[in-house]
Amino acid sequence: MVEFTKELDASGLNCPLPILKAKKVLNTMQLGEVLHVLTTDPGSVKDFDAFARQTGNKLLSSTEENGKYSFLIEKAK
C-alpha cells in the first residue's frame, strides 16, 4: 500500500459529502502528498474517478472490500 499523509473516514456519508470533505482536506495539503479516503457509499467509486479527472489530482488506487471503499488521491494541483 502507498504511504499516505492524511486520512479521511467518510464512512456512512452519501454523495456528495465524501467528495466535499476530501476536497476540503486536499486544499490543506502540499503537492505530492497523498490522502487516504474511506467510504461506504458505492457511488463514491464513480465520484472519486470523476473528481480526480476534473481537479487534476491523481487517483492512485480505488479498492473495495466488504462494502468499504478505499481511495488514495495524490494532490497534483
pLDDT single digits (tens) 23-61: 999 999 999 999 999 999 999 999 999 999 999 999 999
In a domain, 1, yes or no: no
> Which range marks the domain in which residue 10 is found?
6-74
In a domain, 31, yes or no: yes
- pTM comes to 0.94
pLDDT bucket at 2, cuts 50 / 70 / 90: confident
Q: What is the DSSP string of 10-72?
A: -TT--TTHHHHHHHHHHTTSPTT-EEEEEE--TTHHHHHHHHHHHH--EEEEEEEETTEEEEE
In a domain, 55, yes or no: yes
pLDDT bucket at 1, cuts 50 / 70 / 90: low
CATH number, domain of 36, equals 3.30.110.40
The one catalytic residue in 4, 11, 13, 15 is 15
Give yes or no: 15 in active site. yes
In a domain, 19, yes or no: yes
When computed from its CA atoms, the radius of gyration of the chain, rounded to whole angstroms, is: 11
